[in-house]
Amino acid sequence: MTTLPMNPAAIIFDLDGTLLDTEPLYTAAAQRVLDPHGHTYTMELKRRVMGGDSNRSAQLTIDEFDLPMTAKEFLVKRESYLKVLFPEAEEMTGAGDYLRHLHSTNIPTGIATSSHRHLCDLKISQRDWRALLTTIVCGDDAELHNSKPKPDIFLLCAHRMGIKAKNIVAFEDSRNGVLAAKAAGMTVVAIKSPYTSPEDLQEADLVIENYRCLLT
């Protein structure tokens, strides 16, 4: 059994690629947008945009392929595909069990996700662990001024939970996310992903395959 680097007063999770295996869905939807233009959404581009603000990620994609659309238009097109895909997204291995374990031990949990609120709700509203989360901060929150890799979203989530950042463990799966949580002063556990290299996660305090290693 793997143990956390510290005994946390709370745990904050990223969502995409950390609790839910949605990253392949984002890739598929982005590729559908690119198909009419004859481009391929590469792994290298995926790694650059992961974990960041959706508008920034959209603009990076547009610039990469010189697409004839705005970031807003790209996101609207992509969302039309994501709405169909998200409700069926698989949980990351052991994620639900780990959330229930934390609840049973009275450790509060929150989410800090770059996803906008309506998409976050689409992903998690039917999950049986939704009610276990005490605080959720999304990328379009009115009080959020900077996206990952800036620490703002983690600091805002910690503030709303009423817990100091230094006493929180954050779970992430991307370089942007790891850097954001570390900049917030949190201890970081990274989930391995096919979309990241070991170098992407090197700032994390612990890197794990999945949540099962924390449970058994």
Q: Which of 16, 152, 173, 200 is catalytic?
A: 16
128 is catalytic: no
Angle, helices 23-34/54-65, rounded to nearest 10 degrees = 40
Identify the helix (H) or strand (E) that includes residue 19.
Answer: none
**Can you tell me the distance from the alpha carbon of 3 to that of 85, in angstroms, rounded to the nearest whole number?**
34
**Can you tell me the distance from the alpha carbon of 43 to that of 47, in angstroms, rounded to the nearest whole number?**
6
Which whole-number Å values give the CA distances from 112 to 2, 69, 152, 199, in the listed order? 24, 29, 10, 23
Q: Which of 14, 141, 173, 200 is catalytic?
A: 14
| Sequence letter at residue 206 | L
Tell me if 120 sits within 8 A of 113, measured CB to CB. yes
Say whether the peptide bond before residue 149 is cis (omega within 30 degrees of 0): yes
Give 82's contacts (C-beta < 8 A, 6+ positions apart).
Answer: 25, 26, 29, 119
User: Partners of 178 in the beta sheet?
Assistant: none
| 194 three-state secondary structure | coil
14 is catalytic: yes
Which of the residues are catalytic? 14, 16
